[in-house]
Homo-oligomer: A and B are copies of this chain.
Amino acid sequence: MRAGVVGGGSWGTALAALLARRGHEVRLWTRREAIASAIRATRTNEAHLPGVPLPADLDATSDLERAVANAEVIFVALPSEVCRGIYRELRSLLPGGATLVSATKGLEVDTLQRMTEVAAEEAPGHGLAVLSGPSFAWEVAREQPTAVVVASRDLAVAEGLQRAVAGRTFRAYSSDDVTGVELAGALKNVIAIAAGIVDGLGYGHNTVAALLTRGLAEITRLAVARGGRADTLAGLAGLGDLVLTCTGGLSRNRSVGQALGRGQSLADALAAVGTAEGVRSTRAACALAAAAGIDLPIALQMRSVLYDNKPPREAVEALMLRSLKRE
């Protein structure tokens, strides 16, 4: 398979390395030529995936046209806010018949669209899929056993991708629930911020476990209201990624929450970690929920913390003091 990977951050680089190790012909696109040339010269991406040796035949380029020329599959692993622009650029560059695979876990805030919806608008006429699940880039790059979901409305496309990416330490399950997989990936980051806050405030594991449980119920309600399936949320893209993000320690979204819980400002917290999709996704989740008439207590409290300066402790106490009820 000839594959392009668009996005030279940690996840794009790990995906490109994975594909190259499977024997695919891979070109990795990064916006900055300095990173692309460093990857070619040093066989590492020290800026985003330090210390991980990359396959010798992994090509890197800052020329988007070159990255996707002749590619059968193009993976896009970029922050959600730049995806529309990139898909627009790709429109005239994509080979006919190429499949687009979104590896982004976020929603477009202004339109509330999922990334494959954005892709379909900006670069129509291509097969579409999403790859998601509990997959810290560094661990994938280090070949730690990892399992993900590949979803496409066309199950044959999902199954083809499943075979293309899978190997001894990387398993892919196929699904046709694109909506559920994309919403799971975006919404779990909202709960991860809350879990970080709980930790940053000094609460214990019991509290995080309760929050995570209520959080999965909450994002499942919203995903189902938007057309996703509950069993997708209970699977790798939902529960699996939620557990990873809320307890794994390496997540940027959880780190932002931790910093807030310790009393830092959002600006300082974001300065330390860079992009955290959950900050934007919180706003998108609340807007989607309002439109669907769904109650999202955790997301609403997070929105108050992130956008209205509500003290994190008050938000957590409001969640814990909700009136008693049946589970």
Contacts and interface: CB of A to CB of B under 8 A. Distances in A.
B325 A173 contact: yes
A210 to B, nearest CB: 4
Contacts of A206: 134-136, 139-140, 144-147, 244
Contact of A174 (B204, B248, B326): B326
A173 B305 CA distance: 26
Interface stretch (A21-29, A109-117, A228-236): A228-236
A320 to B, nearest CB: 5
Interface stretch (A50-58, A64-72, A211-219): A211-219
A34 interface: no
A125 interface: no
A320 B146 CA distance: 9
B326 A173 contact: yes
28 contacts: A134-B209, A139-B204, A139-B205, A139-B207, A145-B206, A145-B207, A145-B210, A147-B206, A149-B327, A169-B320, A171-B210, A171-B324, A174-B326, A205-B244, A205-B247, A205-B250, A208-B243, A209-B243, A209-B248, A213-B234, A213-B239, A213-B243, A217-B234, A217-B235, A232-B327, A234-B234, A236-B327, A243-B243
A244 B247 CA distance: 10
How many copies of this chain does the complex contain? 2
Contacts of A247: 205, 243, 247
Interface stretch (A85-93, A160-168, A262-270): A160-168
Contacts of A327: 149, 173-175, 231-232, 235-236
Contacts of A316: 145
A307 interface: no
Nearest to A139: B204
A310 interface: no
A240 B216 CA distance: 10
Name the interface size band of chain A.
35 or more
Contacts of A214: 147
A240 B204 contact: no
Nearest to A207: B145
Interface in A84-123: none
Contacts of A194: none
Contacts of A223: none
B234 A216 contact: yes
A146 B210 contact: yes
A207 B135 CA distance: 9
Interface in A237-287: 239-241, 243-244, 246-250
A3 interface: no
A147 B213 CA distance: 10
Given A135-B206, A206-B244, A232-B327, 15 more contacts: A134-B209, A139-B206, A139-B207, A145-B316, A146-B210, A149-B327, A169-B320, A172-B324, A174-B325, A174-B326, A205-B249, A209-B243, A212-B239, A213-B240, A217-B235
